[in-house]
Structure 1
Amino acid sequence: MPITSRILEVATADPDRLALVGSPSGGCASDESADSAEGSRAPRSLTYAQLVRDSATMFAAVDALHRAQTDPPTPAPETHGIPITAVSLTSAFETSRIIAGLAGFRAVSATIDPRWPLDHQVGVITTTGIGLVISDSTRLAEALAAAGWTGTVITATDFQAREAAIDPADTAPPTVREASEPFLMLFSSGTTSNPKAFIKTRQQYRDNVAVSSAHLEPLPGVATLAPGPVSYSLTLYAVVESLATGGSVHVADDFDPFTMGARIADEAITRVVAVPAVVKALAEAARRTPENFHGLDLVVTGGANLPASIRSALADVLPGARLISYYGAAEIGFIGDSRDGDGTWISIYDTIDVEIRDESGARLPDGEIGTVWIRAAACSDGYVTGTTDAQLRRPDGWATVGDQGRIENGLLQLAGRAGDIAITGGHKVSLPEVERAFEEFDRADPRSGPGRLGEVCAIALPDDGLGNIVALVIEPGAQGSGSHARDGDSTAPDKAALLDHARAELAPQFVPRRFYSLDRLPRTVGGKIRRHETVDLVMSGKAQRL
């Protein structure tokens, strides 16, 4: 169902139903100025009726800004000539308000993470022909001007002032748009490589909502908490799907475990959509104040292979709350989910086709690791011209983002991306599978000392005999180890204990042949470990070999 038709329907039938709710503080300061009104002047919440009313003046302000340009940037051809408006703010509420408000008009919207490297931000804006950027970053504005960009940057404060100056009588109301019309420009990356942009049409988003509605329960009237930057596709989609199904979406700039429990209780939130790291923090917060979380019914998290420790931690403290870990790709849409066990085996949704193929495109038999190909109605047509040479979707409708996996008994198990597979002695080894074997490593062996192991990263290192060997790089836990370690020291566990554990949990070809320690594993701005950068640190001698 289209987002605008449901918004208009609810605004008429139940005008006071909450559509969008921000943090109790009303927003947050911008990335550069604590005095910015990026949330200070905006309301904390909008009902469906208010969202419809305000969207008209919002679009009028956006349209006027685009039309005022004497030499506007040319939008990417995939937008069919529709000007692109990007939001790059730290306020989840303000970002969500703008994306939702523009949905009922001839507009293509995009969210750009202000934490991206500056050159990534400038690159996607200039390459895709974004014409208007709502941002409080003077560094971004200066860099765009230096790059010769002819569009407009406006602060959140100034944009809100322009909205307020428009007479509602001079505006047109939002309407349901044509299915084929471009709706959102999204980005598949922005932390480890140049971002790849792609367009979602309104029909593709409607098809995606149909899948998530059937399996992930964004039901009418349900209050969903979606904490985190709206530039994350998971958070952005939670905003869109909640409004497209008549729910209330509660956003937050980040997950504060000290206040979120009270918010869940006070705002009667029953559903949370969040990345795995937030789910882990939620379980820890619920352990401290379980009374605030008793109303929580469903937790939905993205990313395949959810660590079993997160699932068990949530089940221990909130046995009545269900946890669904879904697998999907922003370019393609929802593919399947896991609801029990260690989360490594994914049930594929009945409207989605999945095949495992080798490098030549031939279909592989069950059990063999290869590239995951998907056929789904919600899949984008391809990447935006100029942002990548990669092919997303073939003419026959099958698409891949390069994920690796295997199928057994009709279930899908992911093995990571192409760079997450090591070929050692002729065997394909999934490096994420090696990492999962250490999720429950508790260092019970006396040689390893007290405490728990920190994060780990499995890598492939070149080897003359085997082609590659598997190595494990660990980030030691917080507690000390051994008689000479002080309380709170970060020390590595014993190599023998790690090796014994690996031999007990993994097939012989998966067992790491070397172990290294780093005080801090390299991560993206979103908290994901950078495997390739970890390899570089090891090869340059910056990791300690155990």
Structure 2
Amino acid sequence: MPNARDLQPLEVPPGTRALDVLPALRRALDGAGPALLPVAADAPEEAQRLATALSGPLNPGEDAQDDPTALVIATSGSTGAPKGVLLPASSLRASAEATHRRLGGAGHWLLAMPAHHVAGVQVLVRALLAGTRPHAVDTSNGFRPDAFAEAARPLLAADGPHYTALVPTQLSRLIADGGAGLTALREFDAVLLGGAATPPALLADARERGVRATTTYGMSETAGGCVYDGVPLDVARVDVEGDLGPIRLAGPMLARGYRNRPDAEVFAGGWFRTGDLGRFDDGKLEVLGRADDVIITGGEKVAPLPVERVLTEQPGVREACVLGVDDAEWGQAVVAAIVPDPAAEPDVDALRAAVRARLGAAAAPKRITLLDELPLRGPGKPDRRALAAQLTC
């Protein structure tokens, strides 16, 4: 391009005030004005850190006159170092339009998660492209089922399909409350679940209660979810290297690359190498977690996600996170943090036995700790580093 365009921070307020960014977001999608770096308005120190690391004139290769970079989404990935994912307008549109085709048409969207993350901002992008007015949940006192119900009420009164997107923790809270929030949730034509893996037991419970839940798999580098219920969107291609290998994704929803990293090897040949392990099961993609989360214990490799799935299927378990901690005897020991059902705590020995029976002795947690809640990062992923520090204190 003749002159380098600027990447400027866009402060995104929490809750209902997130809708204030819609005009700026529309200009970015139209290629008018600067590219935008969404940052959380209620976390000024983190916002400043990201702005210092990522804002400024875009470099050659980070923009294109015929397809301008609209957003740069900051993500720490699994390393903690800030990376800026360069998303051109075409990628955001391709993702949003493919989502509408999968769900049954453009509709009305309720924002229930932070809009400085890709899952939240895509809710707003979809609404803009649909020509509908989004609504947002008041999160000034955290995510509350009654606030969800209140925000959903006017949106559900509008004609046309109604959609929202949640992280599994939010779904769990709505189901546990069982009140007006769950009643409202049942009225949505689709509820997208992302940000973290959805426990199978939670998904089954939601569907049994009449929630039209759809699991999604994707990341900032794919402009959000691009695999729904194990099946790629019509614009996405999925490849697994070997029988159980890293997942690769391709399609027009892919990011342009990373800010200030023109030679990032994960973007090569039109594919994005995710670093997640997966396999195809009956034609559907099954995601088994991050390759760098695999635990090597006593010479055996244990993927945490299958262990978490077994644990969350057991009575008394609401949430689970499994990780490896340093151990003098085993190299790494498999440990689990469990958020129990307040009404009936699980039997720890029974949990170990269930994992051992399904996945083998190596996968059975050496230690199980009960917590009131899991530490989270981003839109709703368990913070494994914070949890590891907590469990090794």
Q: What is the aligned counterpart of 2:232 among 325, 336, 348?
A: 348
Q: Across the two proteins, how many residue pairs are aligned to each other?
A: 375
Task: Rate the CA distance shift 1:247–1:460 in 2: closer, same or farther, 3 A.
Answer: same
**How many angstroms does 1:101 deviate by?**
4.7
More strand by share: 2
Corresponding residue of 1:81: 5
Q: What is the aligned counterpart of 2:219 among 324, 329, 339?
A: 329
Whether the aligned pair in 1 keeps the contact of 2:108 and 2:132 (CA below 8 Å) is yes
Instruction: Write the distance in 2 (CA, Å) between the matches of 1:210 and 1:290.
Output: 28
**How many angstroms does 1:115 deviate by?**
4.9
Aligned-residue RMSD, C-alpha: 3.2
Q: What is the aligned counterpart of 2:353 among 483, 494, 500?
A: 500
Corresponding residue of 1:377: 252
Letter matched to residue 334 of structure 2: V
The answer to whether 1:266 aligns with 2:154 is yes
Letter matched to residue 471 of structure 1: V
Task: Rate the CA distance shift 1:272–1:110 in 2: closer, same or farther, 3 A.
Answer: same
Paired residue secondary structure (1:399): strand
Corresponding residue of 1:66: none
Instruction: Write the distance in 2 (CA, Å) between the matches of 1:405 and 1:195.
Output: 25
The answer to whether 1:214 aligns with 2:214 is no
Task: Rate the CA distance shift 1:506–1:309 in 2: closer, same or farther, 3 A.
Answer: same
Whether the aligned pair in 2 keeps the contact of 1:198 and 1:380 (CA below 8 Å) is yes
**How many angstroms does 1:527 deviate by?**
4.4
Task: Rate the CA distance shift 1:381–1:94 in 2: closer, same or farther, 3 A.
Answer: same
Task: Rate the CA distance shift 1:521–1:87 in 2: closer, same or farther, 3 A.
Answer: closer
The answer to whether 1:195 aligns with 2:82 is yes
Task: Rate the CA distance shift 1:117–1:516 in 2: closer, same or farther, 3 A.
Answer: farther
Q: What is the aligned counterpart of 1:93 among 16, 19, 23?
A: 19
**How many angstroms does 1:284 deviate by?**
4.5
Instruction: Write the distance in 1 (CA, Å) between the matches of 2:175 and 2:369.
Output: 30
Task: Rate the CA distance shift 1:218–1:116 in 2: closer, same or farther, 3 A.
Answer: farther
Paired residue secondary structure (1:502): helix
Instruction: Write the distance in 2 (CA, Å) between the matches of 1:505 and 1:327.
Output: 25
Task: Rate the CA distance shift 1:389–1:203 in 2: closer, same or farther, 3 A.
Answer: closer
**How many angstroms does 1:182 deviate by?**
1.6
Instruction: Write the distance in 1 (CA, Å) between the matches of 2:380 and 2:154.
Output: 29
Corresponding residue of 2:50: 124
Instruction: Write the distance in 1 (CA, Å) between the matches of 2:278 and 2:78.
Output: 24
Instruction: Write the distance in 1 (CA, Å) between the matches of 2:125 and 2:267.
Output: 24
Task: Rate the CA distance shift 1:117–1:496 in 2: closer, same or farther, 3 A.
Answer: farther
Ranges in structure 1 where 5+ consecutive residues have no aligned partner:
1-76, 132-176, 339-345, 358-363, 443-451, 482-492, 541-546
Letter matched to residue 36 of structure 2: S
Instruction: Write the distance in 2 (CA, Å) between the matches of 1:292 and 1:201.
Output: 34
Paired residue secondary structure (2:145): coil
Q: 1:181-192 alignment to 2 at 5 Å?
A: 181-189=68-76
Give a deviation string over 1:469-490, Cα, whole Å, max 9, x none.
Answer: 3222334553587xxxxxxxxx
Ranges in structure 2 where 5+ consecutive residues have no aligned partner:
58-63
Corresponding residue of 1:111: 38
Task: Rate the CA distance shift 1:496–1:470 in 2: closer, same or farther, 3 A.
Answer: same
Instruction: Write the distance in 1 (CA, Å) between the matches of 2:339 and 2:240.
Output: 33
Instruction: Write the distance in 2 (CA, Å) between the matches of 1:203 and 1:275.
Output: 26
Corresponding residue of 2:338: 474
Letter matched to residue 199 of structure 1: L
Paired residue secondary structure (1:273): strand
Paired residue secondary structure (1:414): strand
Q: What is the aligned counterpart of 2:118 among 216, 224, 233?
A: 233
Task: Rate the CA distance shift 1:330–1:527 in 2: closer, same or farther, 3 A.
Answer: closer
Paired residue secondary structure (2:307): helix
**How many angstroms does 1:437 deviate by?**
0.8
Paired-residue identity, %: 23
**How many angstroms does 1:224 deviate by?**
1.6
Higher RCO (Cα < 8 Å, 6 or more apart): 2
Letter matched to residue 337 of structure 2: V
TM-score (norm 1): 0.61
Instruction: Write the distance in 2 (CA, Å) between the matches of 1:87 and 1:111.
Output: 6
Corresponding residue of 2:61: none
Structure exhibiting the larger radius of gyration computed from Cα positions: 1
Task: Rate the CA distance shift 1:187–1:253 in 2: closer, same or farther, 3 A.
Answer: farther
Letter matched to residue 87 of structure 1: E
Task: Rate the CA distance shift 1:274–1:130 in 2: closer, same or farther, 3 A.
Answer: farther
Instruction: Write the distance in 2 (CA, Å) between the matches of 1:532 and 1:438.
Output: 20
Corresponding residue of 1:414: 287
Paired residue secondary structure (1:441): coil
The answer to whether 1:399 aligns with 2:282 is no
Task: Rate the CA distance shift 1:245–1:281 in 2: closer, same or farther, 3 A.
Answer: same
Q: What is the aligned counterpart of 1:532 among 382, 385, 393?
A: 385
TM-score (norm 2): 0.82
Letter matched to residue 314 of structure 2: F
Letter matched to residue 429 of structure 1: V
Whether the aligned pair in 1 keeps the contact of 2:334 and 2:365 (CA below 8 Å) is yes
Instruction: Write the distance in 1 (CA, Å) between the matches of 2:9 and 2:353.
Output: 55
**How many angstroms does 1:239 deviate by?**
0.7
The answer to whether 1:308 aligns with 2:193 is no
